[in-house]
Amino acid sequence: MNDFAARASAAASRLSDSYEIIFVNDGPTDNAPALVKSLIKENSKIKLIELSRNFGHHKAIMAGLEHATGQYVFLIDSDLEEAPEDLLNFHSKITSTPDLDAVYGFQINRKGAFFERFSGWIFYTLLTWLSDIPVPRNLTTTRLMSRRYVDGLMQFPEREFMFGGLVELAGFNTQGVAINKLDKGTSSYTLKKKIDLFVNAITSMSSKPLWLIFKSGLAITAIAFAIFFIFLVRYFLGGPSVVGWPSLILSIWMIGGITISFLGIIAIYLSKIFSEVKERPRYIIKSLSNMDK
């Protein structure tokens, strides 16, 4: 934590004397909040947001962005897998390119062992296929954003979302920069968390899976009618048939296909309602340290 704060402060001070470093505590079990509070005593530009519990990485990101006040906001994890000094390169890129509102980092080659790289490839391949919004592959948290870009993100009221999808939905002109991400051992994203993230990303960003259910129902219904037509032709031509079997199978397939089609239609409407009606807060703030709001 001390190393991150020192490196982040050194990088930011090379660009401006007016900056703030906001830490968001999303419920770690270590003594990180106490360490940040001790850093605040040494550096008044450091601030802390403590959430009431762990609401998730992406919601913690939104909490930090909502309280950031700068004309440019640099987003980065504090584990030093991504270098705070990337701010300088990102700032040079965003200020030298007309009408550019965000610069994000991505990995050319994913870090980690074979399973982590392979699971990442599967994740982004399925996400690209099932999502309505294309998401760049191998995204990192690191991202420099203009004030109007951050304000645009704050207009999204979603409670369940994938941050990588939300920033694409916001639009604006963005550009990726390849960065080196260190491998510091076992990732905090276990297989279960990766599956949960994938399911949440798809269901919050796209209705395509529901349309696939609906189309599957139509396909099953079409197959049932085709088989019905074949048996009908064979019956009139005097071909062999098994008494009772065709009617049983056809009724199961036909009713099943129609049911799936209808459930798919209902599910599409329910998915639109479900994400809006609960209106639960994204997060709850327990305390603010060295902050005006």
Q: What is the DSSP string of 196-254?
A: HHHHHHHHHH--HHHHHHHHHHHHHHHHHHHHHHHHHHHHHTT----TTHHHHHHHHHH
**In what helix (H) or strand (E) does residue 142 lie, and over which residues does it extend?**
strand 139-146
pLDDT of residue 285: 82
The two tokens of residue 79 are 């584990």
pLDDT of residue 149: 92
User: What secondary structure letter does DSSP report for 141?
Assistant: E
pLDDT of residue 272: 66
Alpha-carbon dihedral angle through residues 196, 201, 207, 210, given to the nearest 10 degrees: -20
pLDDT of residue 229: 80
Q: Is 161 left (phi over 0), alpha (psi -120 to 50) or beta?
A: beta
pLDDT by 10-residue block (mean), the chain, 293 residues: 84 87 79 82 87 83 88 87 87 88 81 64 71 74 90 83 77 84 62 69 71 79 79 70 64 75 73 72 80 64
Residue with tokens 């601030």: 47
pTM of the model: 0.69
pLDDT of residue 112: 60
Give helix then strand counts, H and E, for the chain: 10, 7
